[in-house]
């Protein structure tokens, strides 16, 4: 997506988030019915073994079924039925999350078209082959109106490309060889001109294929935090299992042996079934929210790491500013004539393929052919200059620090930089002729966004190739915490390592080959889809919209995932308290009448109390499915404030809700004969 398109895309995205329209993760009750067959298919023991908590519930359901068949009564049949409902509802939560992904995958599949590729032979002739037969390294010709047959890089030519099938953006983008905007995605359409594309992926491994596998959950692996929480839940389950097993000898000693069905119900109600049932759905839904924003993550680990990020490295151009930096003024120095400066700037920019280089040519009258023997000096990040050698004339244009400045040129450079512009010095044979002013504009509301990040405890660092004065002016205007000026690839790497040595997780965006080392070093590396393959392979996320500001949203999605998991874990553990008050008095009130004081809900009978607790334990899973899929609403706050909010809302709510729920269910259950 070009920089001029980003504000519109930003507005559309925020509109979706405000309105909750499709793509924003809105829960539709119809999804429960559609996903019900998948939930039934997941009832097998092989699937249940993946979740230790729900496997215990499944085993208890099997045992209860055997007991109900051998000695059927109303209580045993009811408890058995609702134990199976608990397992089924857990499967349903996962099936709904996967079903949303499958629906999105089907949409992506429709974007793929079986194409015939015009593959180039070694001798330069063409052959027509099915797109599925293309291999990495093949070169194909694509002209206006044709579909690009696979992911690759433009190695020859320039063209406008319609990427709406992949990104949803209707405005075409420009893809060309030899720059940081050379990458193309299979399934997109060339609208004009002719390009030669070198295929970089094998069949079935394109970005669309990887997105399909990702949203369907076929390749989803548990993240480190998810694994740690699973181990914790399994440990709690074992502890409660031992505690329930130990109750029977105590009951036997007291002269009131408890039926196995009662002990099974007690175990299922006391173990953390709520979070155990929803844990997988929370992870799938978090990945789904990311994919709905056209971000492809290589794993859930990257999404989770985004939630723990404490340092954001943001490119100035295109992220903090609009990125359409253009040459707006030529300023001669030391008596140089304007015509002389214009000619020198024009010639020095012919080999500069960057947008800034092209804008200099536009300002100076457009490209010009050099008739005399010459040698171009292309722009590089290391030299920070470009130019041309024509005979004994060495014309150069680049960063002020790359030249020996005169007093007047230094003054002009400082004035431009102090005003937030970017100065480019033009020189001939090391003699400074003048300065070019490049102007850029900070995006609106960036200061407010950075203030929100600061409230979240995240430090923002602006990365720019500009000189320190320009960087300082933009940093103050935008409100970032720090900046790195005249940044080279090795400077970015050094900054990331320093932050990581201090125990911080670092996130950054990039699109060029020179960004690849830093993307690989960072904990969350977001590569732009419009960038080079080296950048996309180095990062652990790819933004199909090529919008650098999306890094801020990715961090918010990661934090929402962690907060949702923490909130529902808090609720799950807290609601065991009410079930404790419902079941234990019912079990032992006949032996120890004093325990009847713990029956604070005034439940009708031991049988109705236990049944009501089991029913609530199952229904609460269904009730929390929308929250697990949508995610707990994220508000920028410190870790302490978030913990306090979780404890107040989901801790207290987890205690109060079951008391009210079990009491209401008991009012219905007591009407059943035999209860």
The pLDDT tens digits for 462-482 are 988 777 877 888 888 889 999
135-202, what's its fold? 2.70.150
| Separation of CA 653 from chain center | 29
CA atoms within 13 A on the CB side of 524: 33
User: Who has greater pLDDT, 389 or 591?
Assistant: 389
d(CA 207, CA 296): 8
d(CA 625, CA 285): 10
Q: And the tokens for 284?
A: 């799938």
Q: Is the pLDDT of residue 622 over 70?
A: yes
Residues in the chain: 675
Nearest to 371 by CA among 388, 357, 353: 388
Q: Is the pLDDT of residue 318 over 70?
A: no
Q: Is 282 helix (H, G, I), strand (E, B) or coil?
A: helix
Highest-confidence segment of 113-127, 419-433, 576-590: 419-433
Q: Is 558 helix (H, G, I), strand (E, B) or coil?
A: helix
Q: If you write DSSP's letter for every residue of 174-231 in order, what string do you get?
A: EEETTSS--EE-TT-EE-SSEEEEEE-S-TT-SHHHHHHHHHHTTT----HHHHHHHH
| Separation of CA 168 from chain center | 17
**What is the 8-class DSSP label of residue 487?**
-
Nearest to 167 by CA among 294, 32, 311: 294
What pLDDT sits at residue 14? 41
Count the Cβ atoms, other than its own, within 10 Å of residue 114.
Answer: 9
Q: Is the pLDDT of residue 204 over 60?
A: yes
d(CA 342, CA 434): 9
Q: Is the pLDDT of residue 488 over 90?
A: no
Q: Which helix H or strand E contains 439, and what residues bound it?
A: strand 431-439
Alpha helices by DSSP H, listed for 135-206, are: 164-167
User: Who has greater pLDDT, 300 or 176?
Assistant: 176
Q: Where in the chain is the domain with CATH 2.70.150.10?
A: 135-202
What pLDDT sits at residue 69? 92
For the ranges 154-168, 268-282, 299-313, the lowest mean pLDDT is seen at: 154-168
Q: Where in the chain is the domain with CATH 3.40.50.1000?
A: 295-320+443-544
Question: Which amino acids are annotated as binding site for ATP, given as ranges?
Answer: 352, 356, 379-386, 397
| Separation of CA 266 from chain center | 40
Q: If you write DSSP's letter for every residue of 269-337 in order, what string do you get?
A: HHS-HHHHHHHHHHHHHHHHHHHTTTEEES-HHHHHHHHT--EEEEETBTTTB-S--EEEEEEE-TT--
Contact 27, 629 (CB under 8 A): yes
What pLDDT sits at residue 109? 64
Given the residues 138, 180, 288, 315, select the one marked as catalytic: 315
Q: Is the pLDDT of residue 550 over 60?
A: yes
Q: In the predicted model, what is the mean pLDDT of the chain?
A: 81
Contact 265, 83 (CB under 8 A): yes
Per 3-state DSSP, the chain is made up of helix, strand and coil in percentages (nearest 5) of 55, 15, 30
What pLDDT sits at residue 219? 46
What pLDDT sits at residue 619? 93
User: Who has greater pLDDT, 146 or 207?
Assistant: 146
Question: Which amino acids are annotated as binding site for Mg(2+), given as ranges?
Answer: 511, 515
Residue 127, classified by CB atoms within 10 Å of its CB into exposed (0-12), middle (13-18) or buried (19+), is exposed
Residue % of the chain over a pLDDT of 70: 85
d(CA 238, CA 253): 24
d(CA 185, CA 153): 9
Count the Cβ atoms, other than its own, within 10 Å of residue 370.
Answer: 12
Please check whether the domain covering 295-320+443-544 is classified as CATH 3.40.50.1000.
yes
Q: If you write DSSP's letter for every residue of 372-406 in order, what string do you get?
A: S-EEEE---TTT-EEEEEETTEEEEEEEGGGS---
Q: And the tokens for 199?
A: 């295929």
Contact 57, 45 (CB under 8 A): no
Q: And the tokens for 527?
A: 């590569």
Q: Where in the chain is the domain with CATH 3.40.1110.10?
A: 322-442
Query: How large is the average pLDDT for residues 642-664?
Result: 86
In the structure, what pLDDT confidence band is assigned to residue 181 with cuts at 50, 70 and 90?
confident
Question: Which amino acids are annotated as binding site, given as ranges?
Answer: 352, 356, 379-386, 397, 511, 515
Contact 636, 452 (CB under 8 A): yes
Asked whether the CA dihedral 117, 123, 125, 127 is positive or negative, the reply is: negative
Count the Cβ atoms, other than its own, within 10 Å of residue 626.
Answer: 16
Note the CATH number of domain 322-442. Answer: 3.40.1110.10
Query: How large is the average pLDDT for residues 214-231?
Result: 68
d(CA 661, CA 614): 11
What does DSSP say about strands 326-332 and 431-439: parallel, antiparallel, or unpaired?
A: antiparallel
d(CA 357, CA 362): 9
Asked whether the CA dihedral 211, 212, 215, 216 is positive or negative, the reply is: negative
Q: And the tokens for 405?
A: 């400045």
Contact 2, 317 (CB under 8 A): no
Q: And the tokens for 289?
A: 């929210």
Separate counts of helices (H) and strands (E) for the chain: 24, 21
Kindly calculate the radius of gyration of the chain based on its CA atoms and give it in whole angstroms: 32
Count the Cβ atoms, other than its own, within 10 Å of residue 236.
Answer: 19
What does DSSP say about strands 311-315 and 326-332: parallel, antiparallel, or unpaired?
A: unpaired
Alpha helices by DSSP H, listed for 631-651, are: 639-646
Alpha helices by DSSP H, listed for 431-575, are: 446-455, 468-478, 489-501, 516-521, 533-538, 550-574
Catalytic residue status for 315 = yes
Contact 1, 164 (CB under 8 A): no
């Amino acid at each position: 997506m070009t920089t001029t398109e980003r504000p519109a895309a930003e507005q559309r995205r925020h509109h979706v988030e405000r309105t909750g329209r499709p793509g924003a993760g809105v829960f539709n009750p119809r999804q429960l019915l559609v996903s019900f067959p998948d939930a039934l298919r997941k009832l097998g023991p092989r699937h249940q073994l993946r979740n230790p908590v729900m496997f215990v519930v499944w085993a208890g359901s099997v045992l209860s079924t055997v007991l109900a068949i051998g000695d059927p009564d109303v209580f045993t049949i009811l408890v058995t039925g609702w134990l199976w409902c608990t397992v089924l509802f857990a499967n349903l939560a996962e099936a709904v999350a996967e079903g949303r992904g499958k629906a999105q995958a089907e949409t992506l599949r429709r974007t793929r078209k079986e194409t015939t590729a015009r593959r180039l032979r070694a001798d330069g002739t063409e052959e027509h082959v099915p797109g599925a037969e293309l291999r990495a390294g093949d070169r194909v010709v694509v002209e206006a109106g044709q579909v690009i047959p696979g992911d690759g890089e433009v190695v020859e030519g320039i063209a406008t490309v319609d990427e709406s099938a992949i990104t949803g953006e209707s405005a075409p983008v420009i893809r060309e060889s030899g720059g940081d905007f050379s990458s193309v995605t299979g399934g997109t359409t060339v609208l004009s001109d002719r390009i030669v594309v070198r295929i970089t992926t094998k069949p079935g491994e394109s970005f669309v294929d990887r997105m399909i596998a990702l949203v369907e959950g076929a390749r989803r692996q548990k993240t480190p935090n998810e694994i740690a929480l699973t181990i914790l839940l399994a440990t709690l389950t074992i502890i409660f299992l031992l505690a329930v097993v130990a109750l029977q000898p105590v009951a036997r000693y007291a002269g009131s042996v408890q039926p196995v069905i009662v002990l099974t119900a007690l175990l299922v109600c006391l173990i953390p079934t709520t979070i155990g049932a929803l844990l997988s759905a929370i992870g799938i839904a978090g990945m789904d929210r990311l994919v709905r924003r056209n971000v492809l993550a290589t794993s859930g680990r990257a999404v989770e790491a985004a939630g723990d990020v404490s340092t954001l490295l943001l490119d100035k151009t295109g992220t903090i500013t609009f990125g359409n930096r253009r040459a707006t003024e030529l300023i001669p120095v030391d008596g140089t004539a304007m015509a002389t400066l214009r000619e020198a700037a024009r010639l020095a920019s012919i080999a500069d393929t960057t947008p800034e280089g092209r804008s200099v040519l536009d300002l100076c009258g457009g490209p010009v052919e050099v008739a005399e023997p010459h040698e171009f000096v292309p722009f590089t990040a290391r030299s920070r200059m470009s130019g041309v050698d024509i005979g004994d004339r060495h014309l150069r244009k680049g960063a002020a620090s790359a030249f020996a400045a005169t007093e007047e040129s230094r003054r002009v450079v400082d004035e431009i930089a102090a005003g937030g512009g970017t100065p480019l010095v033009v020189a001939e044979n090391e003699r400074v002729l003048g300065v070019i002013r490049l102007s850029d504009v900070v995006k609106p509301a960036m200061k407010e966004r950075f203030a929100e990040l600061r409230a979240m405890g995240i430090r923002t660092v602006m990365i720019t190739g500009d000189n320190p004065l320009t960087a300082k002016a933009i940093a103050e205007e935008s409100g970032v915490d720090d900046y790195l000026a005249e940044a080279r690839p090795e400077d970015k790497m050094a900054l990331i390592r320093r932050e990581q040595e201090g125990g911080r997780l670092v996130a950054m965006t990039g699109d060029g080959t020179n960004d690849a080392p830093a993307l690989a070093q960072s904990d969350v590396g977001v590569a732009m889809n419009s960038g080079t393959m080296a950048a996309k392979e180095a990062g652990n996320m790819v933004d199909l919209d090529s919008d650098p500001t999306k890094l801020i949203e990715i961090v918010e999605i990661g934090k929402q995932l962690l907060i949702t998991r923490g909130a529902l874990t808090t609720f799950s553990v807290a609601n065991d308290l009410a079930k404790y008050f419902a079941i234990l008095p019912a079990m032992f009130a006949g032996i120890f009448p004093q325990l009847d004081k713990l029956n604070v809900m005034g439940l009708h009978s031991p049988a109705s109390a236990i049944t009501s607790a089991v029913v609530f334990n199952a229904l609460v899973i269904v009730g929390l499915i929308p929250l697990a899929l949508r995610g707990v609403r994220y508000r920028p706050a410190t870790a302490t404030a978030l913990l306090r909010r979780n404890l107040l809302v989901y801790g207290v709510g987890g205690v109060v809700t079951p008391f009210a729920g079990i009491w209401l269910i008991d009012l219905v259950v007591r009407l059943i004969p035999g209860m």
